[in-house]
């Protein structure tokens, strides 16, 4: 550009001497504006309407159920003493209600403010006991599963701590290791899994307060004979530890046996050792069972207790701390051991009650049913020894005609298909 200016000046006769040369700026090129498009996106998320869910859970045909768990999605509530529950601000969904020992139920809830009334149906247990020798033998256990499959049996009852005082599996509980009571016979986790795969409910029987092993190791806890002093609350921890472990293994229900004070000659020695009134004994046993329920219900396990059948028909506790009203108020099911062979001659006017199984069972159940505190269930142990198929079936018929479940006791774990009601 400078050379071009000089050339122009030369042609026009202009001198550069003493002149100021002004160089014009380069031309500015202005580009046309680029059109732009602005897009606005609005996302609207519509949440489902929420409702306050409330209602009551009751036993079918009976009163409210305290402690039932009600779930809607990830929210849950537990029913109070009156069976009432409430959950705030949840969308309409399937409502699940569960209470140990009863059949779980689901309801398709469409929302709204109307209270929900849920009635639970009792679990009708039809069970047989699995003796430890059967639990330890895979072939025998497989045969037992096949026997159950061909009948109305829907429950198996195992032992995890029996009358010997020994724990029948490889327990991790501290007290069992300390007193040397672990004597493994079988793998309960495996057997429970097999039973569940077969669609069976599982119960384990834990002997509570008669324990020769424990008394021998820790005599300071002895009451009399092989019996532990149940009035010492510290002695509750061992059976409760075992119950907790059994629940975590996978058992559906924990059944405490020998959850009482001693009878017979040992009772007199026990009374001399620790004089107790009937109210003392009853309160001790009931309090232990309440504590068990408080600990194990949150784990999903039902709680039951075995009692002497004679207390169904007597007004007092027979010296053992078991009254049906008090025991049943503390557990989900009561299992009186209704064995006609154990009744004294002359009972019900029969020279030998053992010869009249149906009549003895009927009398015991009729005496006991009005005394069981709802929503606890009455579920008798029935005698499956000394008897033929007709006699065992007659006992079962008496229980079922009253809407009750049942469990057969046979010490050796040997059952005959003729004893069991076939699938209808």
Residue 6: per-residue pLDDT: 35
Contacts 24+ apart (CB under 8 A), 231-236: 231/274, 231/276, 231/280, 231/284, 235/209, 236/288, 236/291
At residue 45 the predicted structure's pLDDT band, cuts being 50, 70 and 90, is low
Mode of pairing for the β-strands spanning 227-228 and 222-224 = antiparallel
Beta bridge partners of 220: none
Residue 20: per-residue pLDDT: 41
Residue 23: per-residue pLDDT: 46
292: nearest Cα among 330, 348, 335? 330
Q: Please, what are the domains in the chain?
A: 50-120 (2.60.40.1120), 126-419 (3.20.20.80)
Condensed to tens digits (0 to 9), the pLDDT of residues 251-290 reads 999 999 999 999 999 999 999 999 999 999 999 999 999 9
Classify residue 274 by its DSSP letter. S
At residue 408 the predicted structure's pLDDT band, cuts being 50, 70 and 90, is very high
Classify residue 91 by its DSSP letter. E
What's the CA gap between 251 and 135, in Å, rounded? Answer: 14
At residue 424 the predicted structure's pLDDT band, cuts being 50, 70 and 90, is confident
* Tokens encoding 43: 């996302």
Asked whether the beta carbons of 56 and 85 are under 8 A apart, the reply is yes
Higher per-residue pLDDT: 37 or 103: 103
pTM (predicted TM-score): 0.87
Residue 48: per-residue pLDDT: 81
Condensed to tens digits (0 to 9), the pLDDT of residues 231-249 reads 999 999 999 999 999 999 9
Residue 159: per-residue pLDDT: 98
Among the listed ranges 56-65, 195-204, 239-248, 410-419, which one has the minimum average pLDDT value? 56-65
What's the CA gap between 258 and 295, in Å, rounded? Answer: 20
Find out whether the peptide bond into 375 is cis, omega within 30 degrees of 0. yes
Instruction: Give the mean model confidence (pLDDT) for residues 322-347.
Output: 97
Condensed to tens digits (0 to 9), the pLDDT of residues 46-90 reads 778 889 999 999 997 778 999 999 999 899 999 999 999 999 999
């Amino acid at each position: 550009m400078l050379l071009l200016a000089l050339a122009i000046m030369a042609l026009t006769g202009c001198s550069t001497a003493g002149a100021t040369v002004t160089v014009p700026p380069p031309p500015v090129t202005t580009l046309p504006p680029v059109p732009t498009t602005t897009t606005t996106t609005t996302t609207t998320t519509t949440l489902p309407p929420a409702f306050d869910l409330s209602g009551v859970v009751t036993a079918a045909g009976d009163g409210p159920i305290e402690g039932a768990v009600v779930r809607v999605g990830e929210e849950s509530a537990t029913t109070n003493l009156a069976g009432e529950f409430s959950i705030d601000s949840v969308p309409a969904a399937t409502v699940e209600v569960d209470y140990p020992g009863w059949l779980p139920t689901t309801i398709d809830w469409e929302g709204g403010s109307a209270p929900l009334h849920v009635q639970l149906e009792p679990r009708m247990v039809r069970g047989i006991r699995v003796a430890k020798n059967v639990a330890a033998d895979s072939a025998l256990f497989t045969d037992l599963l096949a026997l159950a499959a061909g009948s109305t049996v829907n429950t198996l009852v195992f032992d995890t701590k029996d009358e010997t005082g020994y724990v029948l599996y490889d327990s991790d509980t501290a007290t069992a290791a300390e007193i040397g009571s672990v004597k493994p016979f079988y793998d309960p986790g495996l057997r429970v899994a097999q039973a569940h795969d077969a669609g069976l409910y599982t119960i384990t029987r834990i002997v509570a307060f008669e324990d020769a092993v424990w008394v021998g190791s820790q005599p300071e806890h002895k009451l009399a004979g092989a019996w532990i002093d149940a009035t010492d609350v510290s002695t509750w921890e061992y059976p409760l530890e075992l119950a907790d472990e059994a629940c975590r293994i996978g058992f559906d229900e924990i059944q405490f046996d020998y959850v009482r004070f001693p009878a017979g000659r040992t009772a007199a020695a026990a009374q001399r050792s620790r004089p107790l009134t009937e109210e003392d004994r009853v309160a001790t046993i009931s309090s232990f069972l309440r504590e068990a329920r408080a600990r194990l219900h949150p784990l999903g396990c039902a709680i039951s207790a075995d009692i002497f059948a004679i207390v169904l028909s007597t007004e007092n506790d027979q010296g053992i701390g078991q009254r049906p009203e008090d025991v049943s108020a503390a557990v989900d099911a009561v299992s009186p051991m209704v064995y006609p062979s154990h009744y004294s001659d002359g009972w019900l006017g029969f020279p030998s009650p053992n010869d009249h199984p149906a009549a003895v069972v009927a009398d015991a159940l009729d005496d006991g049913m009005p005394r069981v505190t709802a929503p606890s269930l009455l579920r008798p142990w029935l005698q499956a020894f000394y008897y033929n198929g007709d006699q065992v079936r007659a006992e079962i018929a008496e229980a079922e005609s009253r809407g009750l479940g049942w469990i057969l006791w046979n010490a050796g774990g040997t059952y005959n298909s003729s004893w069991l009601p076939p699938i209808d």
